[in-house]
Amino acid sequence: MLLEPLLYIFLAVITWALAPPIIIYLKNKIKSDGLNLIFKNKKVIFTNLLVILVLFLIIRFFGNSLKTSPGQTDQTSSTPNYTEVDEIIFWTWEEFGTSSEEFLVEAVRLWNENHPNIKVIHQNQSYAGYRDKLKLAIAAGTPPDVAVAGIGDLGTLERDKEMPELSIPIPDEMFTNEELEKYGPMVLGSITRKGRKWVFPLFKYMSGGFMSANKKLLNDAGYDEDILLREGWTIDEFRKVAKQLTIDADGDGDIDIYGFGTPLKNLREFFQNELGPSYWGVEKVKRWRSLFIVFNAETKTWERDPELKISDFSEPMRTIHQMIYEDKSFGKKYLGMVHNQITKELIHKQTLAMTWSGAPQVYVQYAKQFNLDINNGVVNGNPLNMVVMQTPRYTEEGHPVFQVGSTGFSVFKQNPYKGDQHTKNALLFAKYISSPIMVSYFQYRPRGAFPPPSSKTTEIFQNIVNYNDPEWKPYKLFFDSPYSWSPSEEMIYPNHDDRRGITLLWQDWKNQRGFPLLEAIALDQISPEEAGKEWYDNVKKVIDRYYSEK
């Protein structure tokens, strides 16, 4: 503070001005009157000294009051002084060189331009290995301040603890009731733990419960994709359509178009996320969560669900075997392919009529991009439209199950702690980058969609997702339906540690033995009944192993 040296200057001036005359006066008086002068004039001297002391204290008090006045920081306080630039590290995983990355770069530039004391440093990471990089940064004590991470990611990073302990809960005042209502129940469930919100939503996603098909081939066979999407179809109807779409166009004995196909390595997702849940139903899917166990309150241990049957495994497995070896509508050649080759067969060559979709928009958007490339003269080929249908159900009253969720921006705890103001700055930026206008403009993207929180933002931007487009209809129809479930929904288990230990052993068994059994079925090396029984038996074996080694 400027007043601090002024106090000393004031004292110096007083001393310089008054001390010499007083000393000379006293010296002369002592010579003429003796030491009695001091005692005779001590009241005057004391009064002068008291006046100087009072003046000093007044100026001292005045300086301290200015020093701690509102809007200024006390240098003795532990709270950091943010008159200097506060740096916020911001991680994303957009594909390099895409419009999404360009948008984020521009959004960060605008923030920095308008917030000179809060500088955001944007570090775009490769999507491949992003979560591993985040784990490494956390382990090293250098996590980003703001990063793309949903509740599921945070749970994984925290080794499946009951709630994320690495991130900062979002203050209630940052989410209005109007905002929360428009997000919908499934999105709210996917960002909430212990009654607090932990993620600023960016986009929502669906995965599982959908098939994609060549629209022309499907329509030529007499089927309406809108009916198959809204009302669904049975597994027998699906097999019938796949056989109809398996065509030997020139009659030479070689199949020119197969009704269905997927790579060998993708059979695990086809079984776990498509056929299996469609056979089990949404209530069992939510109860089991891929583990097939329940908690016994009497023994206080986990056990294989008494309702689980061998057929819960063997029937979905049988469908794969039947399509390859009985119907011959599932081309064996596709087992040896990878995802990009399947896409080429489906979109470019158009020699594959249907495949399972995962996220409903994937192949529809691939087809749109292919058509655009044809129009621009980038590639040669025939334009096509891809459409989305439900995964087939196993009974008339059954229904496929849709896995849904949302992801967005989380604010991470810092170690060592950088102060309340730094945390507040990070929260403000996360709110900015996930605000309605940002979300609306950022919406049309390869990996997902998120509804505009208001009609006003839809009017501002003309490239907002059109929910009448084939790839987005499923979001409108099923995202918040009774047949959807969110893996990141909050679950409080009676014995979480034991369940997690069993989960790790079960995942290890599936990777080493369970999934290879699916591949063996497709290669006709084992029957679906034998593979189903082995899956069924090993649910119990894994549980027994856990408790014996505990």
Dump the DSSP string for 172-195. Answer: GGGS-HHHHHHH-HHHHHHHEETT
- The answer to whether the beta carbons of residues 151 and 117 sit under 8 Å apart is no
Last residue of a domain, one of 485, 510, 541: 485
Last residue of a domain, one of 38, 67, 96: 67
**Which residues form the domain of 157?**
86-205+404-485
Which conformational region is residue 208 in: left (phi greater than 0), alpha (psi within -120 to 50 degrees), or beta? Answer: left
Whole-angstrom CA distances from 315 to 46, 232, 280, 392, 520 are 106, 19, 10, 13, 15
**pLDDT tens track, the chain, 550 positions:** 444 555 556 665 666 566 566 666 556 655 555 545 544 555 555 665 665 666 666 655 555 544 444 433 333 333 444 458 999 999 998 766 666 778 888 889 999 999 999 999 999 988 888 888 888 888 788 889 999 987 777 665 554 444 446 889 999 999 887 778 878 888 888 888 888 899 998 888 888 999 999 999 999 999 999 999 999 999 999 999 999 999 998 889 899 999 999 999 999 999 999 999 999 999 999 999 889 999 999 999 999 999 999 999 999 999 999 999 999 999 999 999 999 999 999 999 999 999 998 889 889 989 999 999 999 999 999 999 999 999 999 998 899 999 998 888 999 988 788 999 999 999 999 999 988 777 666 554 444 455 555 555 555 555 556 667 888 889 889 999 999 998 877 777 888 889 989 999 999 999 999 999 999 999 999 999 999 999 999 999 999 999 999 8
Verify that 95 and 149 share a domain, yes or no.
yes
Measured CA to CA, the distance from residue 328 to residue 258 in angstroms comes to: 9
Number of domains in the chain: 2
In a domain, 354, yes or no: no
- The answer to whether the beta carbons of residues 133 and 101 sit under 8 Å apart is no
Verify that 120 and 198 share a domain, yes or no.
yes
Verify that 110 and 30 share a domain, yes or no.
no
For residue 326, the model assigns a pLDDT of 97
Q: Kindly state the tokens that stand for 238.
A: 């699906």
Planar angle of CA 498, 501, 507, nearest 5 degrees:
140
Verify that 102 and 184 share a domain, yes or no.
yes
In a domain, 210, yes or no: no
Length of the chain: 550
In a domain, 249, yes or no: no
Verify that 480 and 446 share a domain, yes or no.
yes
For residue 12, the model assigns a pLDDT of 59
Whose CA is closest to 158, among 543, 524, 500? 500
- The answer to whether the beta carbons of residues 450 and 202 sit under 8 Å apart is yes
Which stretch of DSSP H or E encloses residue 120? strand 118-124
Verify that 105 and 187 share a domain, yes or no.
yes
| 3-class SS of residue 65 | helix
Verify that 60 and 94 share a domain, yes or no.
no
Verify that 183 and 132 share a domain, yes or no.
yes
Whole-angstrom CA distances from 229 to 99, 391, 399 are 31, 9, 12
Measured CA to CA, the distance from residue 202 to residue 445 in angstroms comes to: 11
For residue 136, the model assigns a pLDDT of 86
- The answer to whether the beta carbons of residues 430 and 423 sit under 8 Å apart is no
In a domain, 17, yes or no: yes
Verify that 92 and 183 share a domain, yes or no.
yes
Last residue of a domain, one of 434, 450, 485: 485
Phi, psi of 369 (to 5 degrees): -65, -40
For residue 162, the model assigns a pLDDT of 42
In a domain, 95, yes or no: yes
In a domain, 13, yes or no: yes
Q: Which burial class, exposed, middle or buried, applies to 124 when counting CB atoms under 10 A from its CB (0-12, 13-18, 19+)?
A: middle
Measured CA to CA, the distance from residue 414 to residue 370 in angstroms comes to: 45
Verify that 201 and 103 share a domain, yes or no.
yes
Residue identified by tokens 């005045």 is 62
In a domain, 386, yes or no: no
The CATH number of whichever domain residue 143 belongs to comes to: 3.40.190.10
Measured CA to CA, the distance from residue 540 to residue 536 in angstroms comes to: 7
Q: Kindly state the tokens that stand for 230.
A: 């809204």
Measured CA to CA, the distance from residue 173 to residue 184 in angstroms comes to: 19
In a domain, 110, yes or no: yes
Q: Which burial class, exposed, middle or buried, applies to 341 when counting CB atoms under 10 A from its CB (0-12, 13-18, 19+)?
A: middle
Verify that 157 and 186 share a domain, yes or no.
yes
Verify that 97 and 61 share a domain, yes or no.
no
